[in-house]
Amino acid sequence: MVGVRQQALQEFHEIPAWFYETPVKELARVAGGPMLIHLKGARSPALFVSALLHGNEWTGLLALREWLKGLTPRNRPLPRDLILFVGNVEAAAINERRLADGPDFNRIWREPPPAVAPLVHRILDLMRGNPPFAAIDIHNNTGKNPAYACVSQWEHRHLHLALLFGRLVVFSEQPTTTFAYTSSEFCPAVTLECGLSGEPAGVARAVEYLDACAHLSAFPTHPVLPQDIEGYRTMARISVLDGVSFAFGEAACPNPDSIVFRSDLDSLNFRELPVGTAIGFASTLDGITVHDKDGAPVDCLSLREGQIVTTRPLVPAMLSVSPIAVRYDCLGYVMERLEVPR
């Protein structure tokens, strides 16, 4: 990423007049870069909310606008101090996850590249010096998934924060470079996966969640009960190696040597798949990797008469049929059931 322009952080201590009405694709031009907005409320410490870390995932910003506008007409004060981080506005201008030559804003929080290092250090220093009440990172999926929350700490405060969104919770130990993973060192933190970008149901659910979190005075001290949660752990990550040709659906693949995944691959997300479930076709599995959080290979796929099939019962999540998402991130994850901590 040599030569990538530095992302200058724009800081505000009130909501800019143009914040609500500026089209998402125009934010980079109007704001001048990623934004950090500090707002005073009735209670401290602040609730930290991040949105648009991926430029094609708009639900977080749309939900923040709707929630904050809903407070204004009735002159309702913010129930808690609020810090908003609106991230990759330049990628949002082209409705892409990230710029082709720029960093992924949800993979920069350990060893940030020079273009975003000042921004990252400013935010982490702020959180370290004044730990937030909670950190919420709002995302979307590129494939069909139910709405769910991810946590990086399988601990009761983090789980209580997640359960405000719903009983489906995923313990994600990788990658360790995400905003929520790093934030979890300072406060309870959660990533919300709100379905496809901009869908009204996902926006409405995020608005309701933000309001609930802002009104929460403290986290419950009692443990999460097993019957209140449907928990999973991401045990492996499925990736396609760089340079390997792949497509979704046979009609979309003119190259006979390509890996061809089924066109409805994302319909398998959060389903219990039995042994022998076919997910595509290939002449070899050399172009597909399945690794756990430590980089060790996980045996869960094999070839059977040219079909890629599962070799163990598994539950996938975030399987995507977007070639760009697969190239920039991964094909999806393999999960296993997880009980609440003792």
Q: Cα–Cα distance between 332 and 136 in angstroms, integer? A: 22
Q: Tens digits of per-residue pLDDT, 103-125?
A: 999 999 999 999 999 999 999 99
Q: For residue 165, what is the domain's CATH number?
A: 3.40.630.10
Domain termination residue (choose one: 211, 228, 245): 228
Domain termination residue (choose one: 180, 204, 228): 228
> Do 119 and 192 share a structural domain?
yes
Question: Is 295 among the domain residues?
Answer: yes
**pTM score:** 0.90
> Do 251 and 185 share a structural domain?
no
Question: Is 2 among the domain residues?
Answer: no
Question: Is 1 among the domain residues?
Answer: no
Q: Tens digits of per-residue pLDDT, 253-302?
A: 556 778 999 999 999 999 999 999 999 999 999 999 999 988 999 999 99
Question: Is 258 among the domain residues?
Answer: yes
> Do 328 and 276 share a structural domain?
yes
> Do 265 and 185 share a structural domain?
no
**Residue 332 in contact with residue 316, Cβ under 8 Å?**
yes
> Do 147 and 61 share a structural domain?
yes
Question: Is 341 among the domain residues?
Answer: no
Q: Tens digits of per-residue pLDDT, 137-149?
A: 999 988 889 999 9
Q: Taking 90 as the threshold, does the pLDDT of residue 71 lie above it?
A: no
Which residues are within 8 A (CB) of 191 and not within 5 positions of it... i.e. 6 or more apart? 137, 138, 139, 149, 150, 151, 172, 178, 179, 180
> Do 291 and 196 share a structural domain?
no
| pLDDT level of residue 74 (50, 70, 90 thresholds) | low
> Do 74 and 146 share a structural domain?
yes
Q: Are strands 259-261 and 82-86 parallel, antiparallel or unpaired?
A: unpaired
Domain that holds residue 215: 10-228
Counting the structural domains of the chain, the total is 2
> Do 245 and 105 share a structural domain?
no
Domain termination residue (choose one: 201, 228, 255): 228
> Do 224 and 242 share a structural domain?
no
> Do 246 and 211 share a structural domain?
no
- The stretch 300-313 carries a mean pLDDT of 95
pLDDT of residue 101: 92
> Do 319 and 295 share a structural domain?
yes
Q: Tens digits of per-residue pLDDT, 200-214?
A: 999 999 999 999 999
pLDDT of residue 7: 82
> Do 175 and 324 share a structural domain?
no
Question: Is 92 among the domain residues?
Answer: yes
Question: Is 187 among the domain residues?
Answer: yes
